[in-house]
Structure 1
């Protein structure tokens, strides 16, 4: 199981990093073409927007994995351990629900764009491919929230049984 988790972590890192790297490289290419060769390329900005958005949405589960997302923990820090665990469970469950809705409505958007045949303005990329990141990132984000929920539930059972461990990592 740990090998599968490491492979999944690596896949997330490679995908997000690749899209962001390609986006940055294309920005550099666009600047060079515009200001050095005085031949701006119209397609660059459109493709950069898509690759940066894909990279960012693929990076959201990575931020959740490493607990590097924005959090307000003034109240959380004042709670007793059992209260912290309950809040972790609640926030993870809300995250799971959000991801289910996000994925579902992302899928609906992809389906509508697929049937409409809409393409991008400059490059002609089918828009359903552009929007495909929504259900993909939603599923990846959902898997991370499920992982957090399971971890929260496991910690909660330790608190109830009196086997609480001291851990500064929290999920809220």
Structure 2
């Protein structure tokens, strides 16, 4: 994946956030491979051994949540997340800049809310166990917290770039 060019030599914060995004993508990639492997085990167990491994469904649900949120956080940094910026870019030039600000501020608000609600959900569900896995149910909400916090931090850097007249999306 190509990470954005930050208009000049990257500073320490850009290198740190590039690393954080790469870690998110690496962990999500490993989890995706794990997800594929455990589904292979499910098929093998069900059709060859005639003994379906029942833990696979719960593990898959947990992995999908982690993959989605870690990938989403990295997408905020790389500006590769789901967006409809082509609409904004078709607007007249005087409207584009305020719309870019609104979009980045919107991600900050959403990321803050996501982190807060993820924390609330993790705290409320930590005492329950995921059936067949035996780990805390709160682990399903931890990636929400990570994604929310990273989205806010990444967006603050994007906001600072906009304030300097740069748009990190243009690379």
Shorter chain as normaliser: what TM range? Answer: 0.7 to 0.9
Tell me the SS of whatever aligns to 1:155: coil
Distance of 1:38 and 1:150 partners within structure 2 = 58
TM-score by length of 1: 0.80
Deviation of 1:9 after TM superposition, in Å, equals: 2.8
Looking at CA atoms only, which structure, 1 or 2, has the larger radius of gyration?
1
Closer, same or farther: CA 95–5 of 1 in aligned 2, 3 Å: closer
Contact 2:32 2:67 in 1 (8 A): yes
Distance of 1:75 and 1:141 partners within structure 2 = 22
Is 1:128 aligned to 2:129, yes or no? no
Aligned to 1:5: 17
Contact 1:12 1:59 in 2 (8 A): yes
Contact 2:79 2:169 in 1 (8 A): no
Instruction: Mark the runs of 5 or more structure 1 residues left unpaired by the alignment.
Output: 157-164
Deviation of 1:124 after TM superposition, in Å, equals: 2.0
Q: Which protein has the bigger helix share?
A: 1
Q: Give the total of aligned pairs.
A: 159
Task: Report which stretch shifted further, 87-96 or 69-78.
Answer: 69-78
Deviation of 1:75 after TM superposition, in Å, equals: 3.8
Is 1:102 aligned to 2:103, yes or no? no
TM-score by length of 2: 0.81
Contact 1:23 1:49 in 2 (8 A): no
Map 1:107-122 → 2, pairs under 5 A: 107-114=119-126, 117-122=127-132
Deviation of 1:151 after TM superposition, in Å, equals: 2.0
Aligned to 1:155: 165
Closer, same or farther: CA 75–13 of 1 in aligned 2, 3 Å: closer
Is 1:169 aligned to 2:170, yes or no? yes
